Amino acid sequence: MSFLNKLPVFLLSYSAAVSAFNFNHLVGVDYQPNHYAGNVALNNHDVFIVGNDGAGTPISNVYMELLQLREAGFSTVRSYQTTIYSWAEIINQAHALGMKVIYEAVIPQQPADSPVSGACPVPSAGQGYIPCAQATLNAVIARVGKSVFNDTVILVFAGHENYCEAGNVIPPCNNPGVSNITYLTSAVTALQSSLTAAGLATPVSSALVSGNLVTPSVAITNDMITLANSYSPTAPLAFDPYPFQWGVPVASSVWTPPLSTNNQAQNSLAWDYLRVVGSANPPALPAAAQQPFYTPGRVLMSAETGWATAGSTGEYACNSPGPCAPSVANAAAYYQALYQAGTANFVAASGYAIAVLAFEAYDEPNKGSTSAEGHYGLFDANCVQKAAGMVPVNKIVSSKACQGYSNGSLLTIVGFGHPYTLAIRQTNPATGVPVTITASSAGKPGPSDATWPQYLLFPGATITIRGTPSCTSTVQSIVNGHITFSGTCNCPNDNLNNCYY
Q: Say what angle helices 61-71 and 84-96 make with each other, to 10 degrees.
A: 50
Q: What's the pLDDT tens digit per position in 162-178?
A: 999 999 999 999 988 99
Cα distance between residue 244 and residue 246, in whole Å: 5
Residue 344 amino acid letter: A
**Lowest mean pLDDT segment, chosen from 188-197, 325-334, 448-457:** 448-457
Q: Which domains does the chain have, with CATH numbers?
A: 27-401 (3.20.20.80), 407-487 (no CATH)
Q: How far is residue 187's CA from residue 159's CA, in Å, rounded to a whole number?
A: 9
Count of CA atoms in the C-beta half-sphere (13 A) of 25: 9
Mean pLDDT, residues 41-51: 93
Q: How many helices (H) and strands (E) does the chain have?
A: 13, 18
Question: What is the C-alpha to C-alpha distance for residues 44 and 36, in angstroms, rounded to an integer?
Answer: 10
Tens-place pLDDT, residues 279-288: 999 999 999 9
Q: What pLDDT is stored for residue 319 in this prediction?
A: 77
Mean pLDDT of 260-289: 98
pLDDT tens column, 422-457:
999 999 999 999 999 999 999 999 888 888 999 999
More confident residue, 11 or 462: 462
Please report, as a single letter, which amino acid is at residue 193. S
pLDDT bucket at 9, cuts 50 / 70 / 90: very low
- Write the pLDDT tens digit of every residue in 94-135: 999 999 999 999 999 999 999 998 889 998 777 999 999 999
- End-to-end CA distance of the chain, in Å? 52
Whole-angstrom distance, CA of residue 438 vs CA of residue 445: 18
CA-CA distance, 210 to 239, in Å (whole number)? 5
The share of the chain scoring above pLDDT 90, in percent, equals 88
DSSP string of 443-485, one letter each residue: S----TTS-S-EEEE-TT-EEEEESSS-EEEEEEEEETTEEEE
Instruction: Please report the pLDDT score of residue 124 as a whole number.
Output: 77
Nearest Cα to Cα of residue 101 among 110, 112, 88, 114:
88
3-class SS of residue 59: strand
pLDDT tens, residue by residue, 471-482 = 999 999 999 999
Give me the chain's average pLDDT, please: 93
- Confidence grade of residue 8 (pLDDT, cut at 50, 70, 90): very low
**Is the model's pLDDT at 40 over the cut of 60?**
yes
pLDDT digits (tens, 9 = 90+) for 150-161: 999 999 999 999
Residues 328, 309 contacting (CB under 8 angstroms): yes
What's the Cα-to-Cα distance from 399 to each of 29, 64, 72, 335, 371, rounded to whole Å? 17, 8, 9, 20, 28
Residue 320 burial (C-beta neighbours within 10 Å; 0-12, 13-18, 19+): exposed
10 Å CB burial of residue 442 (0-12, 13-18, 19+) is exposed
Model-wide pTM > 0.75: yes
Weakest mean pLDDT among 18-22, 221-225, 437-441: 18-22
CA dist., res. 157 & res. 206, Å (int) = 4
Instruction: Give the containing element (helix H, strand E) for 68.
Output: helix 61-71
Average of per-residue pLDDT across 255-265: 98
CA nearest to 164, candidates 178, 179, 174: 179
How far is Cα 128 from Cα 211, in angstroms, rounded to an integer? 28
3-state DSSP helix/strand/coil % of the chain, to nearest 5: 30, 20, 50
Q: 332-390: per-residue pLDDT in tens? A: 999 999 999 999 999 999 999 999 999 999 999 999 888 999 999 999 999 999 999 99
Q: What is the predicted pLDDT for the residue at 10?
A: 26
Pairing of strands 153-160, 498-500: unpaired
- Which residue type does 319 have? N
CB-based burial label for 414 (10 Å; 0-12, 13-18, 19+): middle
Quick one: pLDDT at residue 386? 98
Measured over the CA atoms of residue 131, residue 134, residue 140 and residue 141, the dihedral's sign is negative
pLDDT at res. 19? 64
DSSP SS3 for 358: strand
Residue 489 has pLDDT above 90, yes or no: yes
Q: What is the mean pLDDT of residues 13-34?
A: 78
Q: How far apart are CA 186 and CA 198, in angstroms?
A: 18
Torsion on CA atoms 486, 491, 496, 497, rounded to nearest 10: -70
